[in-house]
Structure 1
Amino acid sequence: MSSTTILSYAQRLKSISHLGLTYSNNEYDTERYRELEQISFEMMQMATGLSLEPLTVYFSQTKEYITPKVDIRAVIFNDQNEILLVKEKADGKWSLPGGWADIGQSPTEVAVKEALEETGFNVKPIKLLAVLDKRCHPHPPQLDYVYKIFIQCEAITASYTEAFDILDVKFFNQESIPVLSEDRVLSSQIDLMFEYLHNPEKQALID
């Protein structure tokens, strides 16, 4: 069984145990759910190589119903059919501009904000391209359960600016895509974005 599969099962167990601990009204059930939670942590440890302490700390502040996090990526092409990528300071690899969704902002507002903050480009959203469950794609194992939203945007003004977490910003054609930050985006997903460029009538992909 792969690490990704183990982590997926562990996340489901953690969600079930969390709901049980939240709503249980007797000591017997609470004890069982705590045991289930401990098993989920041990499975996460197997899948990620992290020790148990940071795993338990990571989830300790979560009180509400556990739901997926949402990662939003802006897809920006230029007139030469090149795609805009940013070089992440975290790992020195490339990704589409974007990041976690913010409470109080719509998905398109987040895409516009992230593009501006990471590249300096003022963009306007054009259309939704894909909503992907990260579990269904070969990303490296990650503790969070994540949905990824890809939104095509058009550059209104293009003036590069420095960002604290970005090393470089550059357009690439499909044949010269650099090494990608696979925690954030996969080469298959970049290829999918080019499919939308060449076939504007292509339906949005779900999952």
Structure 2
Amino acid sequence: MKYSHIVFDIDGTLIDTEKAILMSLQKTILDEKGIKKDLQELHFALGITGKDALLQLGIDDIDYVQFIWDEIFKKYSGDICIFDGIRRLLEELKANSITLGIITSKTRKEYEDDFIRFGIAEYFDTVICADDSNEHKPNAEPMEKYLQYANAKRKETLYIGDSVYDMQCATSAGVDCALAIWGRIDSGDIEATYYLNFPKDVLNVLVDNNKHDDVLLDWAIELQFLSQCGLTYSKDLFDIERFERIREISVEIVSTKAGLSLEKVNNLFCNETGFQTPKLDTRAAVFKDKKILLVKEVSSGTWSMPGGWVDVNQSIYSNTIKEVNEEAGLDVIPERLIAVQDRNKHNIPKYAYGICKVFVLCNVLGGEFKSNIETSESKLFSLDELPELSVEKNTKEQIKMCFMAEQDDNWKVMFD
């Protein structure tokens, strides 16, 4: 199994409490403080402690208002239920000897009053409540407490929750996280290791079976290609309906195996019309003093050759110039092609669509690095002192190929 500890949030993950929390909070602040808020305006309160929520609302006598909120919350308890599939999931995880835990923003009393009655508390070995830490989600302390009390290793622990605060708590502690979309309207822009549409999807992330996943992904890619061709050229309404269903199946396969939401996969995987062709990505090989120029990515902290998608109004030549200028602040002239590669044959993870990577040797005219939203710095590296690379964009083997091309005036373009 990939993880030996699975830790859950409660509200919005194990039990559906959104309506009860928001409606009771709405009534509390209206009755006690005369504050009128739409339910949408109170969504920030999901995933943090009640006191933190009241603090953000500018409530001064927090303890008293919290007491009133708790009392009003009880009147909505009939609207709370366990999400479909949770009980069966917990049984299967236990059957596979997975240690289960909870990290919640509820106090210990709220945990006992609101959760115990559902009859699933017995599945959990370690429970971290708001009382157990000085800092709360999104701070890492609750997760650090769990790791300590449960004697769990970071790399073997997965935290599942429905809010950005849950994901930030796990990430700050160096723990993988999964967004429980079954407890949300949408995933928004929340960053997570996995996106789970249904509770049963948790089981898919536990098995690290790369070969099996590659085969399924190959099938999904082919199904998507065939369905898009069918939707492009078919005239019969019944055939179009069938091709639309084939496309949906391809999305479901990718979503299940990649741990991404159906919405996200659909936007990434099925966002084109017409005959499907690979995307183009350029990477600029810029050398000085027998060292190659790399840029550090803001999003990941890893390093890559300057480059990116070829814009619809750009050529390979012009896009290479544009990307180097944007990411490294340099003005360059593309000199010659080094290689044209099928990305999925050289880089990981495998993508669900085709990409042709074009490596271009460039000469520098001038310029200097400028702060930008994509990269935080640029630096020259020799082949034997390469930093941590963004391997989905360039590997050590690809960079070595560029070194070889730069040193060989008679270099012949390599292509897959």
Query: TM-score, normalised on structure 2?
Result: 0.47
Matched residue of 2:339: which SS?
strand
Alignment check: 8 A CA contact 2:329 2:370 kept = yes
Which residue, out of 305, 308, 329, partners 1:99? 308
- Deviation >6 Å, runs of 4+: none
1:120 to 2:329 alignment? yes
Matched residue of 1:65: which SS?
coil
- Structure 1: distance between partners of 2:341 and 2:287: 20
Alignment check: 8 A CA contact 1:48 1:141 kept = no
Are residues 2 and 126 of structure 1, via their aligned partners in 2, closer, same or farther at CA, if it must alter by over 3 Å? farther
Q: 1:53 corresponds to which residue? A: 263
- Structure 2: distance between partners of 1:35 and 1:112: 42
- Structure 2: distance between partners of 1:195 and 1:115: 21
Deviation at 1:83, TM superposition (A): 0.1
Q: 1:31 corresponds to which residue? A: 241
Query: Which of these two proteins has the greater Rg computed from alpha carbons?
Result: 2
Q: Deviations over 1:150-203 (max 9, x none)?
A: 110011114222221101100000000111111211111011111112223121
Letter in 2 for 1:55: V
Q: 2:414 corresponds to which residue? A: 205
Letter in 2 for 1:131: V
Q: 1:17 corresponds to which residue? A: 227
Alignment check: 8 A CA contact 1:119 1:163 kept = no
Alignment check: 8 A CA contact 2:284 2:305 kept = yes
- Structure 2: distance between partners of 1:189 and 1:111: 17
Alignment check: 8 A CA contact 1:133 1:148 kept = yes
Letter in 2 for 1:68: P
Alignment check: 8 A CA contact 1:119 1:161 kept = yes
Letter in 2 for 1:66: Q
- Structure 2: distance between partners of 1:66 and 1:58: 13
- Structure 1: distance between partners of 2:214 and 2:406: 31
Matched residue of 2:282: which SS?
strand
Letter in 2 for 1:115: V
Matched residue of 2:409: which SS?
coil
- Structure 1: distance between partners of 2:218 and 2:343: 10
- Structure 1: distance between partners of 2:355 and 2:342: 6
Show structure 1 runs of 5+ residues with no match. none
Alignment check: 8 A CA contact 1:139 1:186 kept = no
The aligned length equals 206
Which residue, out of 81, 84, 90, partners 2:290? 81
Which residue, out of 57, 61, 72, partners 2:282? 72
- Structure 2: distance between partners of 1:39 and 1:101: 29
Flag the structure with higher helix content. Answer: 2
Are residues 31 and 139 of structure 1, via their aligned partners in 2, closer, same or farther at CA, if it must alter by over 3 Å? same
Q: 2:353 corresponds to which residue? A: 144
- Structure 1: distance between partners of 2:302 and 2:212: 24
- Identical-pair percentage: 33
Deviation at 1:96, TM superposition (A): 0.2
Letter in 1 for 2:312: I
Matched residue of 1:111: which SS?
helix
Deviation at 1:59, TM superposition (A): 4.5
Letter in 2 for 1:72: T
Alignment check: 8 A CA contact 2:251 2:269 kept = no
- Structure 1: distance between partners of 2:257 and 2:217: 6
Larger RCO, structures 1/2 (Cα 8 Å, 6+ apart): 1
Pick which of 149-158 and 6-15 moved more.
Answer: 6-15
Flag the structure with higher strand content. Answer: 1
Question: What is the root-mean-square deviation of aligned Cα atoms in Å?
Answer: 1.7
Letter in 1 for 2:284: A
- Structure 1: distance between partners of 2:281 and 2:219: 21
Alignment check: 8 A CA contact 1:132 1:149 kept = yes
